[in-house]
Amino acid sequence: MNIFVLSELSCENKHVGWSVSHSLEETLASVCQAQFIYPCWNGHTSTNPFPDAVDQQVSFLNRCRNRLLKSWYTVEAWPEPGPGLNILLVVGIRPKFLLSMFALGPVLDQFDLRVGYLLDGFDPRYMNQPPLTKLDHLFVISHQLADEVRSRYPVNVSWLPLGINTLVWGNYSAHRSLDLMGYGRMNEAVHTRLQQHFNQADSDRIYLHSTFTCTGVTHPKKHIALQIKLLKRSKVNLCFEASNIPRFCGHSPLLYRWLEGIGCRECDRGYKATGSRSRRADGLAEQHAGVTCQPRRVGSLPGNPAG
């Protein structure tokens, strides 16, 4: 069996949210000996914040060319399918990346199975239809999203939750020097309340939290290694569900940040709004916690954290 992976994870993608892609690629490389292909976006991107008429015309003509020739992406060389079963796995964050399949030209039709996996939330109303006709199956990260895509497009789609490989993290620390860790997406009301009791001059409690506003890092793999070290030394990891983030369209999937905390054998606390969607997300996280190393406490903070 030969597995080829069209990956959106190029060396230029240094957003902290790409941690999920790094973990998946490392697993595919070690377990499946997959061959990776990194397409380049072929769109015209203007560096001028106030594009003139000529720049706008070039952008329009470029979009027309890509649509006519299916040349949205390019690759350095076409892959060479070998004897036996040949599988193409297209892994990206955004649905737009599925268009990268057409960069393979006539080789695309030589694969026995073509599968897509989108690792983030998105609005299914704006999916590009041409690549969907080439896919044998599409995986997304929530069952609600799978239902919506299935209702709109003639494509086989299933829910495949995100996963994480904890075997490469080494031993777990019994000494947890960090009382509380809140990384990435935070709730301002909860954060403000915690600040009143942690990190004050008269308190010996440590609440480690994000202080940056930029989402890029200089070296993603070094950042991930440091993140895991900190998680393994934290007693509690704060995770916040994402249904209020526009790209999740009200859905609350189990996110990679939850898996990182669960994988580090710590107590995960989730702050959620009230409602059936919140209870489903709590239940799903608890199910995953139950099958990961040991039972995990997953709960909800009060709806009014300042009270």
- Determine the angle formed by the axes of helices 220-231 and 256-263, rounding to 10 degrees: 50
The residues facing 118 across adjacent strands are 92
pLDDT of residue 158: 96
Confidence of residue 269 (pLDDT cuts 50, 70, 90): low
What average pLDDT does range 149-162 have in this prediction?
Answer: 93
What average pLDDT does range 143-160 have in this prediction?
Answer: 94
Return all residues near 147 (Cβ < 8 A) that are at least 6 apart. none
pTM metric for this prediction:
0.76
3-38 in b/e form (b: 16+ CB < 10 A) is bbbbbbbeeebeebbbbbbebbbebbeeeeebebbb
pLDDT of residue 23: 84
Which of helix, strand or coil describes residue 59? helix
* Tokens at 232, concatenated: 């393994």
pLDDT of residue 138: 97
Question: Are the beta carbons of 277 and 250 closer than 8 angstroms?
Answer: yes
User: Is the pLDDT assigned to residue 50 strictly greater than 60?
Assistant: no
pLDDT of residue 109: 94
pLDDT of residue 51: 43
